Structure 1
Amino acid sequence: MAHESSSGSTGSSSNSTGTSSGSAATTTTAAAASKNNKANKNAAISKATYDTWYVIAGVTGACMAVYLFSVANAWYIRRRVAAARRAGKAASPPAATTGASVSISRVPKALNAVFANIAYYRVWPLWIWSATSTAEWWWTWAYTGIVLGLGFWGCISNGKLDYANPMGYVAFGQIPLIVALSSRNNVLSWLTGISYEKLNYLHRASGRLCVLTTWLHTLGWFKKGLGKHGPGTNIFLTGMLAAVAALIMWLTSFALARKIAYEFFLISHITMGIIFIVGSYYHWPRLGEWCWVGLVIWAFDRVLATCRMMWVNKVWLMPFSSKRAAHSACTVELVDPDVVRLTVNRPNMKWSPAQHAYITMPGVATLRYEQHPMTIANIQSETGDVTFIIRAQTGFTRRLVHRLTEQKSSDINCYLDGPYGMSHGLNHYDSVILVSGGTGVTYGTAHLLSIMEGSRNATTAVSNCRLVWNVREAANVSWIAPMINEAVAKGLGQTRFHIDIYITRSAASDEPGTAHVAPIEDTATPEYSPSGSTENVNDKGSASSLGDEKYASIAGLSAEAAQLVSWHRGRSHIEGILRSDRSESATDGAGVAVACCGPSGLTLDARRAVCKVNSAGSILRGQNDVTFYSELFGW
């Protein structure tokens, strides 16, 4: 019995042990399954983040293919037409403007014009983001939709929506793109040909998306319950620090804030950006790879910019007092109460028309080595001079004007970092119209000088080039007169050049010393007849349409340069100018190019004019298509 009893006890004990082991095994299996499910969920979320970058790579590759084709096509057109001109072949005659029949072969060009008008040239005013084109809208919402769609795809687990962690992954994945799109040395720009400042809307879109997903992650965890990750823990403190920094960046980046206090925006943006990246890294080190990639991109941009600045300014010679002045000096001229012309001699700097450089003036800046972007007004020459025309606004530019103690100064140190921006050459078009307002003429002047040089060397396809400049006073032309005089003195080749000056603020009697001058023709009406469009404007023997040489004298124009200039009162009627020049343009190049730089109102007028003139019907009847370029005016 004892044995039986013992055996029974042993059996009971064995059953109990078996039950405990089975329960433990079940618990272990359940824990392993839960852990496995969590790992699979995190893998799916991580995959969604990487999928976003596969999409970015694919789109970049497609844009690169289009860019390479456009560059090759422009090179071919320019070479072919220039060679024909050198051989003495006349430009192809303009297409008939009335009575022409529709050509089916021109359907692709007509469709392209319709697409360009809708996608790129027409803009939709926005109260908070200024004027935005349809293409910018589309890319912004497409990118936002793709990223959020892929992110929320990983939010569904066991039939439940859990967006806390997936949105955190999305936020981490935005860091490299945000940094890359804010960099001057932008790899995406090099691959696609789209200048980094024109990709800024995607920088803003990615930034807004990062702020949104950061706060969805934060609020998602508040909703779920923080548990062991509550206040006082490292993960909570670093996470909230990063989230608040992201929110401050967003709140201080609105257009109004940038306009009122740009320097404050810049400093706070950089500071909060660093805090966000560092806070994010310490919040969840497992995703630190995204932070490191962002920092590597930032370091690459800074190192390359520093090396370029050292090369352009020959920094290695600065320790020698005898060399320091020559490689840090500049000439600043006050050409108007609020406008200066800055000339810096930097033979090591090589640039293309309409690129820009960053200016550093330690003696003027609030922060000693702060940098400010300015468009280069001239083209590269053997002298190595780089010229800028700068209007005083607030901050740095206003201090620069106040710093001058006389009309012309050479005692201010200046350092350049550049060039930057993707220059779109215009030498493959039949006709070019450069529309400028105020100091936006730097963009137009650079392209005008480039086409003049190409005409002189017989390397351009442009048969007709017109600069349309809206200025406050006739004397403002003196800002660019030295550069125009020098270019005209070298010769102009076969291209016809016209410079139309529209005086928008004052009548002829308001100008000093011009009381006897005949009234200026007012062409700011729908009917436009361009002056200076004779058979060979470069050999005109008469004075400009003003009927007197007084304005040319005030503007500092040489007698030869004055022959290209026509003076008008009122604002330019861009649509009339475009219709007239297109009807007279040759047809063996790439059509008509309109390039605009100026205040937003002028740019909008130019866009409307292009949309009206660049119609499918006119192109089907043989007229040239119109390509529009817009340069940013301000930052």
Structure 2
Amino acid sequence: MAASERIEHELVARHSTDHSNAESFKEYFGYDPEAIPCQGGPVLCDYLDAVYQGQAKSMLYTFVLWAVIGGIILFIMLGRLLRPHRRNGDNEKQSTLYRSTRSLAAASRKALLPEGFQSLFPNTTRLQVLIFSIFFVYITLFTFLGIEYKKWYTPAKGTDKFSIRTGLAGFSNRIGALSYALTPLTVALCSRDSILSLLTGIPYQHFNFLHRWTGRIILVQSFVHTIGWTIIEARLYQPQPKYYADFIKQTYAIWGVVAQSFITFLFVFSLRPVIRWTGYEFFKITHLIFAGLFFGACWGHWDKLACWMIASLGLLGVELGMRVVRLCLIHFGYKDGNKGIGFRTINSKVETFKDPSGTIVRMTFTHSHRTWKIGQHFYLTFPALSIWQSHPFTPASVPSASGTHPTHTYIIRARNGETGKLGALAESSTSEKENTFETPVVMLGPYGLSTVDTEATNILAIAGGTGISFTLPTVMSALADPTSIAQNIEMVWIIRHIDNLSWIGPELTELRSYLSDASSPSSSSDFKSAQTTVSSQKKRFRIRIFVTRAPETRTHVHPVISTSIVAPKSDLEISSASSTASEPTHSHEIQQLIAPHPDFKVEYLDHIRPGVESMLSSFLDETVEEGRTQVLGSGPAELGTDIRAGVARRNEAGRVWKGDERGDVRCVWDDRLG
């Protein structure tokens, strides 16, 4: 089909104007050319002028949108490069720029770290909600700007009826163009090998919230675009129903319907209730496939804006390509006992633990590959179950030094889906005499960024259940690393049953070797003097274990272990110990792990969660070294909510500005429970 014939075919139904007598055409980005001079009469030409001018503004707004996004990224990059660093020396006064930066950070955390609008945005910080709100207002504003709200009446050829032309056409085009422009952003926001993380230093997991809601904005935009043009083609243009019947048969209209079906599928099957019903594995695989199909259908629908779909497919291709590269780097090498190079899985040792709450799997293996940074995670696939499904898990082990083969340790709770199948496999492969077996593993990673704060003098790590995988390496590294400036370290672990300590039995035994030999002081002032006289070089380290489901009906405290952290009664009620109460019996291994020590405390609760505020108060009030504090946490979502709120209250910008960095408390939360 010749160019003039194609233009005539696409525009006659849309604009009802004759292009065969046009002397020239004026090109518009993302739209059909405008015929010069206009041949449709003054009313139609006035309408077409409004349409084309609106199209020019729409394209401008899409470019402005990406210019703003690029400007924000550039601003964050410059902030990272030019960020003032802390001067060495405890007594050296920090620069005005440094104190200003840290004060602003503390004020921001105080206001924006707590979670907000929980009914609409569960487990989402105010900062994330604020960013999304600004983004939403920006998109809404530019959706309506520059639209000419007017009606034009033109006679329908061969009938006595009139077609009604309105600003709805320009509006529908605008919202469709914006949805196309947002599509590459949704891909960038969900990529594991995220270019956004590389540029901004923000872990890719933190973009997932914006990815979900940007996708929902595109869904709404696409529906409004479809409804708008359906009203135009099926009601405003005449004669009907012939006009709409001819329109819906066109190729671009058919592809539009297909694209709308694909994005609707993506939305429905990404809802949490649907994911729980179909399984996370089904969601992940179908989301990837149908996203690619959606991009292709959008390309078929309006190829004049194919640049956005090419960018989306390109980002998706880079993401998949990087996964293949990572897989090859880790798993391709010389086969053991054979000549040549090939793919090999990793043989892992699996140990199982049973308690009334379910099955826990401890997986350990050693493999030759580039080590990871503390806080990063890997995606693991279990070929014995399926080669198409993988899950993110954070290693509970400390990365090895360069030149040695790193050892991975994972603590995994068997839930539904793939982890449930892993638990079932573990149970079927073990016996009462031997609770370990071996299974192959395929590993992909590492992903994410390091969580180590090199300027933090105080570290408080709070974990719930298998969330210990996230906090444990940070604690062990800070204790073992002589270059770490962290001097005041406390590890809090909330578990359901005391036997859960055996999940990290070897690591807990090693941690106990770092405990001080000094007696635990009764007050902060006593503690400071004792710490100075006993050992000014040894780091202060404490362990707190909360057992939320004690074997006794009523709450009690282990008789040989004193307790010093007691939350307010509104958060935690602890009854006094009874001398006549029968005490729980534990295995020899557990008895060794909970051996009495002033800095190793165990508290038994009765189906009550410990108060996070009391943990923070106890830790910060007994801080021995001035400086910044880092609070790390992982576990159930409710724990994250409490930690964020508690840390926010502890940030004091005025205190930081005066040079007291104890008012600068940073929070790092991870909700992957594996």
TM range (shorter): 0.7 to 0.9
Which range is displaced more, 566-575 or 370-379? 566-575
CA distance in 2 between counterparts of 1:266 and 1:562 reads 47
Aligned match for 2:491, one of 467, 470, 481: 467
CA RMSD of aligned residues (A): 3.8
Moved more, 307-316 or 152-161: 152-161
Question: Residue in 1 aligned with 2:106?
Answer: 113
Aligned to 1:423, the other structure's residue is in SS state coil
Residue 478, structure 1, aligned to residue 502, structure 2? yes
Q: 1:210 aligns with which of 211, 218, 221?
A: 218
- Work out the number of aligned pairs and report it: 561
Normalized per residue, the structure richer in helix is: 1
* Aligned residue type for 1:284: W
Structure 2 residue matching 1:230: 3-state secondary structure: helix
Say if 2:630 is the partner of 1:629: no
Structure 1: unaligned runs, 5 residues or longer = 1-22, 82-90, 94-104, 529-547
**Mapping of residues 29-428 of structure 1, within 5 Å:** 29-31=37-39, 38-69=51-82, 73=85, 80=88, 112-120=105-113, 122-156=114-148, 160-161=167-168, 162-225=170-233, 227=243, 230-260=247-277, 261-315=279-333, 317=335, 320=338, 327-336=345-354, 337-365=358-386, 368-381=387-400, 382-404=404-426, 405-406=429-430, 407-428=434-455
Between the aligned partners of 1:173 and 1:237, the Cα distance in structure 2 is 21
Q: TM-score, normalised by structure 2?
A: 0.75
- How many Å apart are 1:157 and its aligned residue? 7.2
- Structure 2, unaligned runs of 5 or more: 1-20, 25-34, 93-97, 152-166, 235-242, 517-536, 571-582
Residues 630 and 666, structure 2, Cα contact 8 Å, conserved in 1: yes
The 1:297–1:562 alpha-carbon spacing in structure 2 relative to 1, beyond 3 Å, is farther
Q: 1:430 aligns with which of 444, 457, 472?
A: 457
CA deviations on 1:189-234 (whole Å, 9 max, x unpaired) are: 1111111111111111210111111111101101111647622322
Aligned partner of 2:175: which letter? M
Q: What SS does the aligned partner of 1:225 have?
A: helix
State the Cα distance separating 1:415 from its structure 2 match. Answer: 0.9
> What is the CA deviation profile of residues 173-194 of structure 1, one whole-angstrom value per residue up to 9, with x for unaligned ones?
1111111111100000111111
**Identity score, percent:** 23
User: For 1:149, what is the secondary structure of its paired residue?
Assistant: helix
CA distance in 2, matches of 1:518, 1:559: 10
What is aligned with 2:567?
525
Residues 491, 300 of structure 1: CA spacing in aligned structure 2 closer, same or farther, 3 A cutoff?
A: farther
- Any conservation in 1 of the 2:653–2:663 contact (CA below 8 Å)? no
In the aligned structure 1, how far is the partner of 2:180 from the partner of 2:298?
Answer: 8
Are the structure 2 counterparts of residues 154 and 312 from structure 1 closer, same or farther at C-alpha, using a change threshold of 3 Å? farther
1:515 and 1:502 mapped to 2: Cα distance? 10
Q: Distance in 2 between matches of 1:443 and 1:43?
A: 50
Task: Give the counterpart letter for 1:359 in structure 2.
Answer: L
**How far apart are the structure 2 equivalents of 1:469 and 1:186?**
32
2:649 counterpart of 1:612: yes
| Deviates most, 574-583 or 157-166 | 157-166
Cα offsets for 1:448-485 (capped at 9, x unmatched): 1121222xxx2111110101110011221111221243
Q: Does 1:506 align with 2:530?
A: no
The 8 Å contact of residues 435 and 444 in structure 1, kept in 2 or not, is answered as: yes
Distance 1:47 1:302 in 2: 32
Greater relative contact order, per chain length (Cα 8 Å cut-off, separation 6+): 1
In the alignment, the residues of structure 1 paired with residue 337 and residue 126 of structure 2 have an alpha-carbon distance, to the nearest angstrom, of: 52
Cα distance change on mapping 1:522 and 1:582 into 2, 3 Å: closer
1:290 CA drift (Å) = 1.0
Q: Any idea what SS the aligned residue of 1:412 has?
A: strand
